[in-house]
Amino acid sequence: MNNTIYQDSAANVLIVDDIEENLIYMESVIKNFNINIISAMSGYEALEKTRDITLAMAIIDVWMPGMNGYELAVNLNKERTDNKVPIIFITANIFSEIEELKGYDAGAVDYIYKPFSSQILKSKVSIFLDLYNQKQTILKDAILLRNTTEQLKQANTELYKSEQKFRTMVNSLPDGVLLVDLKGRIREVSEIGTELLGANDRNELTSKHILRFVRSDSFKLIKEIAVNTIAEGLTQENEVNIIKLNGSTFLGEISTTLIQNIDGSPLSFIIVVRDISQRKRIQTIQIHADRMANLGQMAAGMAHEINQPLNIISMVMDKILYEADKNISLDVSFLKNKSNKIFENLTRIRNIIDHIRVFSRNQFEYIPIAFSINKSIQSAISMFSEQFRHLGINVHVNLKEDIPDITGNTHQFEQVIVNLLNNAKDAVMDRKGLSDYTYIPEINISSFVNKELLIVQVTDNGTGIDEEHINKIMLPFYSTKEEGKGTGLGLSISYEIIKDMGGKIEIESKKMTKTDIRLTFNVIQKKDGK
């Protein structure tokens, strides 16, 4: 039986003597110690009173009837294998060396010989209580250490389980996940991340700097992302050309999150890497399909645009032929004037056809350049001018001069404006069909700078958009138009194009009143290059 017990209370001290006066005397001597005194007048009574009790020490008279002190000492410590009780024997006899050894074998640590002074008893009790208290302190520390060790072991087990769960979760993600320290070096990488970066084993990637995997022209962007992530906690998607270990590249989208210490200081980054090459290819196909759909919708307008100069050419030729049939002499100035009109209108037709050809071209491979927003807007409007006139739509254009250029694909931006004008045209014509003769269809398009934002605004007074549709109309294939009247791609493609240019699309609408669409861009570059 293991009786090693830590006792955080007054120490128990056993005193045993078959003479009551002796017990009373010993109690009076040691009562001022911080102890709990257990008194007994026989060995049997002592054993009964101390069963399952931890004793700091025992003071036992050697010669007692029934069970003497030696026998009691042996019985006291019989089951206390790990917590032996220190015993002081009291006797009136002077023992021989053999008798003393017998006492020590029974568990004695000291003897007091009668008669004895109270000071001797106090001194010996004090020494053994100090030893007991030191032992209790050691036991307390040992228990605390054992509990702490168990807690640490449990915490390590939970941490291991958590790490395994986190690793399993990360490895199940379709995107690559990298743990990067504040110096930019990779510390951990998921299985998908290992594959994306062209490694066979993640050990090939650990300790490598993150800039190793991007082109030099992206270094500034990566550093800006790190600064913004530390400041804000996370950054939204950024497109970066990523270089694999074998030198091949792919278009990636990265999102960065900050990991903090308990005190809130930055610890490391989690970078999620997504290969968007396929998505970009699909988006390009959608953009081209939308261009073709827009051209189909504009076919009638294009016919009007081309028919007008053709009619003028026809009228001029009829005049020349009429004069020739009557054998009227045609002077040089007359022919020159009529020829100039023919060439002017032929040039107009050629420009329209060239514009359609450029607009319909697949613009997947391009290098972003600075371009004039106003020129792109004017080019888009030129495709609608005759159609709008024919439909009786009033178009108001207010383009502020000397506004900054933006960087991107001018043809894709033009496609956005064409989409917005097509939608505005449909909205005002739908309302015209529901209104009386007093309704006048109007479309307003403007460009201006407000503080650090360049804004392009397209407003129409058409049917408007229900509030329930506002947050959905940017989704692919979501359309509020009747079946067969739209692809459902226009605004979603416009959203992607504007996002790629670093801009945003905002929509406000009131049913049967107006729709206001704003394209906003951060002002980066002025026209004069300053």
- For residue 445 the two structure tokens come to 């398009």
For residue 428, pLDDT beyond 90 = yes
Look up residue 386 and give its two tokens: 């005759």
B/e letters for 355-392, b = 16+ CB within 10 Å, e = fewer, are bbeebeeebeeeeeeebbbbebbebbbebbebbbeebe
Give percent above pLDDT 70 in the chain. Answer: 76
What are the chain's domains?
A: 11-142 (3.40.50.2300), 173-275 (3.30.450.20), 282-522 (3.30.565.10)
Q: Read off the pLDDT band of 448 (50, 70, 90).
A: very high
**Confidence band, pLDDT 50/70/90 cuts, at residue 232:** confident
Q: Which residues contact 474 (CB under 8 A, 6 or more apart)?
A: 491, 492, 495, 505
Whether residue 238 is predicted with pLDDT greater than 90 in this model: the reply is no
pLDDT: which is higher, 423 or 329: 423
The reported pLDDT for the residue numbered 16 is 93
Q: How far is CA 520 from the centre of its chain?
A: 26
Instruction: Pick the closest to residue 4 from 87, 81, 86 (CA basis).
Output: 81
More reliable by pLDDT, 309 or 147: 147
CB atoms within 10 A of CB 483: 6
pLDDT value at residue 446 = 96
Mean pLDDT of the 31-43 span: 91
Convert the pLDDT of each residue in 172-224 to its tens digit: 777 888 889 999 999 888 888 888 899 998 889 989 999 999 988 888 888 88
488 pLDDT tier (thresholds 50, 70, 90): very low
Q: What is the mean pLDDT of residues 513-527?
A: 79
CA distance 132 to 379: 99
pLDDT greater at residue 462 or residue 3: 462
What confidence tens digit (pLDDT) does each residue in 379-402 have? 888 878 878 888 899 999 999 998
Cα–Cα separations (whole angstroms), residue 459 to 327, 352, 434, 441, 446: 57, 26, 19, 11, 9
Which residue has better confidence, 484 or 24? Answer: 24
**pLDDT over threshold 60, residue 478:** no
483 token code pair: 């079946």
- How large is the angle between the packed helices 410-434 and 277-297, nearest 10 degrees? 50
Q: What is the pLDDT of residues 46-69, one digit of tens each?
A: 999 998 888 888 999 888 898 888
pLDDT band at 334; cut points 50, 70, 90: low
